[in-house]
Amino acid sequence: MPGTASLEPFFSPQSVAVIGASRTPGKIGYAVSENLIKAGFKGKLFLVNPQAEEILGRPCVKSVSQLNGIDLGIVCVPAELVPGIVAECGKKRFKALVIISSGFDEIGNQELTEKLRRALRPFPTMRVIGPNCLGIMNMKNRVDSLFLPEYRLKRPKPGGISFISQSGAVGSAILDWASMMDYGVGKFISYGNALDIDETDLLTYLVNDPETKVIVLYLEGVKSGRKFFEAAKKLAWKKPVIVLKGGITAEGGKAAGSHTGSLAGSAQVYAAAFKQTGMIPAGCLQDLFDYARTFIHAPEARGKRVQIITDGGGYGVVAADAVALNGLQLANMQESALAAMRKQMPSYVVLKNPLDLTGGTSNEWYGLALGAALTDKNVDLIALIILFQVPNLTSDVVQVISNLNARKTKPLTVISVGGEFSEVHKRAMEHDGIVTFSYPENAIRSLKALADFYEFQRKKKRKP
């Protein structure tokens, strides 16, 4: 099979043809054409429709036979027409195809799937994503082949998180979330039934992609388990690969089979494989989001000792429980750091772990406590709890925390729950590159994911 260079036409095409472009709003071929135009694709765009002279103000070509050597074709025709279109694209030396059309293995139509395989066989260098997929995006190069309109699915800004999703629905939710949270996305691939390009090819490509800093992967089944896990052993330690495995129950496995034609496989087998390869398992969609944003903002974790700083004793207790339940340790700050704080804070401040600043806290106390934790060699990770309801805190505490965090010396999560006042301040911190949470359990799970990955990475680097 060709190497990852053969995937470049998907993400950096100089020419794109939408095969099955439509004049009718609401049709897939219309949405794909419109999204490529709205994205500002800079290359040559050909809209293929035998019945139309123009679509969206762009001239149409009647058939694939009028084209030659196109980098990327996006196939939006009914399923029964796909094998013929694919064969025609192969003869005209297309380099890559995204087949959005559905109606193959996912509905048990093995005969049509086999017909599509036969159509592809004479053209081994023409790579295919799909069928039955949402499409692909490369935000930097303005390639947007998704069939969901922008008013329903906001497009995120370019950035360092790249997504591989077997499910178009899960993928679209992730993109919508990233846009809402103002997180940057590099590349997005919905790969559907994986007739040709599969999760192994995509993982290999993104690990070697310098623009991708964190990889998020939603799996229902793996096309070739041995191939995937052998590749993951070699690659997944190099950059964070966060995986949510769908179909871990008998009921979910059946649903996966009818969704993308995948065999879900044993949850225990996958869990063991993730541990061996260094991939980071997410237990739910919330964890998937949380881990991705934590990895994109946080520096390397050097250990598993957590310092909790809070202005609410109960929240500190809950956070301490979460630390223990997740296999992390409470840090013991150096006596010199504690002594320095005693001189500047009243005696009722609890200088332990959790470090409880109490409801009488101020911006200054938060600055002192966070500054001490960031420079203390006994502290690896920081869980900073701020309950904005206390009387002496002002909005300036956000700037105090942002200034101290700017050097990114240690991973920091901020935990705050409340109404609109709290949410406004959390959004301000997110804008400054600080990961915020509403609940301690979510924050501590994210810190554990961070610590586990970097511990695994250090072990791999030490091996000859």
Q: Which long-range contacts (CB under 8 A, 24 or more apart) does 106-115 make?
A: 106/132, 106/192, 106/193, 106/258, 106/259, 106/260, 106/261, 107/258, 109/79, 112/79, 112/80, 112/82, 112/83, 113/193, 113/195, 115/83
- Report the chain's C-alpha Rg in angstroms: 25
Q: How confident is the model at residue 248 (pLDDT cuts 50, 70, 90)?
A: low
d(CA 95, CA 290): 37
Domain ranges of the chain: 1-132, 153-297, 299-462
- The pLDDT of residue 260 is 46
Residues 153-197: pLDDT tens digits?
A: 889 999 999 999 988 888 888 888 888 888 899 999 999 999 999
- The pLDDT of residue 251 is 53
- The pLDDT of residue 1 is 42
- The pLDDT of residue 222 is 87
By the 8 A CB rule, do 348 and 358 touch? yes
Q: Do domains 1-132 and 299-462 have the same CATH topology?
A: yes
Residues 44-69: pLDDT tens digits?
A: 999 999 999 999 999 999 999 999 99
Residues 417-446: pLDDT tens digits?
A: 889 999 999 999 999 999 999 999 999 999
- The pLDDT of residue 262 is 45
- The pLDDT of residue 268 is 81
d(CA 94, CA 91): 8
d(CA 307, CA 288): 24
The pLDDT mean for the chain works out to: 92
> What whole-number percentage of the chain has pLDDT above 90?
82
Note the helical H segments in 299-439.
313-325, 335-344, 363-375, 397-405, 420-431
d(CA 79, CA 131): 9
219's tokens = 């799996």
Choose which CATH entry (3.40.640.10, 3.10.129.10, 3.40.50.261, 3.30.70.100) describes domain 299-462. 3.40.50.261
Q: Domain 153-297 falls in which CATH fold?
A: Rossmann fold (3.40.50)
Mean pLDDT, residues 113-120 taken together:
97
- The pLDDT of residue 329 is 98
d(CA 330, CA 352): 10
Query: Quick one: 1-132 is in which CATH superfamily?
Result: NAD(P)-binding Rossmann-like Domain (3.40.50.720)
Residues 360-385: pLDDT tens digits?
A: 999 999 999 999 999 999 999 999 99
Residues 302-344: pLDDT tens digits?
A: 999 999 999 999 999 999 999 999 999 999 999 999 999 999 9
- The pLDDT of residue 246 is 83
- The pLDDT of residue 5 is 67
- The pLDDT of residue 41 is 95
- The pLDDT of residue 4 is 62
- The pLDDT of residue 166 is 87
In 3-state terms the chain splits into helix, strand, coil percentages (rounded to 5) of: 45, 20, 40
* pLDDT over 90 at 235, yes or no: yes
- The pLDDT of residue 172 is 87
pTM of the model: 0.91
Note the helical H segments in 160-284.
168-180, 199-207, 225-235, 250-260, 267-277
Mean pLDDT, residues 263-276 taken together:
77
